[in-house]
Chains A and B, each alone.
Chain A
Amino acid sequence: MKTDRLTIAGTAYASRLIVGTGKYPTFEVMRRAIEASGAVLVTVAVRRVDLARRDGESLLDHLDLETLKLLPNTAGCYTADEAVRTARLAREAGLSDLIKLEVIGDEKTLFPDTEGLLQATRTLVKEGFTVLPYTNDDLVVAKRLRDAGAAAVMPLASPIGSGLGIQNALNLRFILEEIRDIPVIVDAGVGTPSDAAVVLEMGADGVLMNTGIAGAGDPVKMARAMRLAVEAGRLAAESGRIPRKLHASASSPIDGLLR
């Protein structure tokens, strides 16, 4: 068990924290926040080049691709077909088989359409993609995704961008108990470092976040806080916490007390 290594499909990444590149006030703040987070995997979205409005600045000018690895997503896709199409374009643009697969089923909650997700996972696995599906905190779906060849499962803690933290710890616990052969990466809902620490303490292999860092008052400082929380949570998971007890148990010896 390597504290600071997240292994996905045989490749080890030097951080258990995966961060997004959206919603930053400037590219420079994003660059510094990613650096402070220690993340090596960074998510990106695939969009049409806006030919009417181009200022010459591109996201990739601000990402150090010597040290970072791009994880393109299929955000905004509402059908398996759209997601597969976007994944194929992402592979061509990024020359990598990694894909964070999203098939959204509801606009308000951005909850996944798990039926479409499974369908797209099967198609993309067949085409040689390393598929990391963003999914519900549903054990049965997680098992099906694993059986369909997903390289990891990425259940949500709470809705994307909500910052609500873990809303259903029991469901995550069931997934973590059962899915042992591929990484479980909690994706979405982390609002503050304690959320991330708890995720790792529960035994998750990693955590993925965007808004929790990018939307903070000081994204660079928050990125460092998240990094420390992920490291702390992982170390705690490996350490074996004490059992909870109802009553006190003195830390100082009773022998030798002055009477």
Chain B
Amino acid sequence: MEAKSIEELKKEIKLLILDTLNIKNIQPDTMDESIPLFSKENILNLDSIDGIELIMAIQKNYHVRIGDQNLARNVLESINTIADFVVTESRKKL
């Protein structure tokens, strides 16, 4: 992964979510980074199938592996946790 700030990465992740799940009516700036992605409070209103789609998109986009369901649950907790995971995995490759 090329060097980018954590804020840029989070914005990229937001766009990836919107693009992967074909969500048109939400702007990246309105997406909260800490609210659990699959909670009722989140404006995205995601379900478990969206979850698999996101796992596959994150794996492909960042060349990482989300190898089990417990890890998936933790990584997909929020935009912040996805960003943390991508950063951690990228460091491992250095």
**Are A and B bound to each other?**
no
